[in-house]
Amino acid sequence: MYTTSIHTPVGFAVISGNEDGITSVRCSDDPVPESPFVPTILHRCARQLEEYFENRRRSFNLPLHPHGTPFQRAVWQMLAEVPYGKTMSYMELTRRLGDEKAIRAVAAANGKNPIWIIIPCHRIIGSNGDLTGYAGGLGRKKWLLEHEQIANGQLSLF
């Protein structure tokens, strides 16, 4: 596994993977040591994330290989379908997956998302519109949502 990182407006994006694709993108307050060799795909991911933060990218074109259970991967696939600049509630996400009783499991899978921003777990909010749980911290979640709203020509969600 190889690692690189880039500085973003909300901290460092730490990108991990191999020649076959991206296995994780996580946020960090501190830089991490870069692997002596960094595959091209990690550089491509870094460039696409930079474009996202510069408001020049709304979707990503990368091979993703997150590690998780089949249920987690189903939730992450559904997260990837939430459009840029839009939000969805945990309950709506759960309904789309077909079982309202699974809301806690869906929320837990959302929290285990290993590919920050690219699999947009930040776009999932409470049914009442509140920002709830975010592994990167609610400040980062708010920043990301506002970033996407402003890029869409809206002043702010909050």
121 is catalytic: yes
**C-beta neighbour count of 67 within 10 angstroms:** 10
Catalytic residue among 117, 121, 124, 144: 121
Q: Residue 102: how many CA atoms within 13 Å on its side-chain side? A: 16
Cβ atoms of residues 83 and 120 within 8 Å = no
DSSP 83: P
Q: Looking up tokens 């690692």, which residue turns up?
A: 3
| Residue 45, burial from CB neighbour count under 10 angstroms (0-12, 13-18, 19+) | buried
CA 150 to CA 142: how far, in whole Å? 12
Q: Considering only CA atoms, which of 22, 123, 136, 14 is closest in space to residue 78?
A: 123
Residues annotated as part of the active site:
121
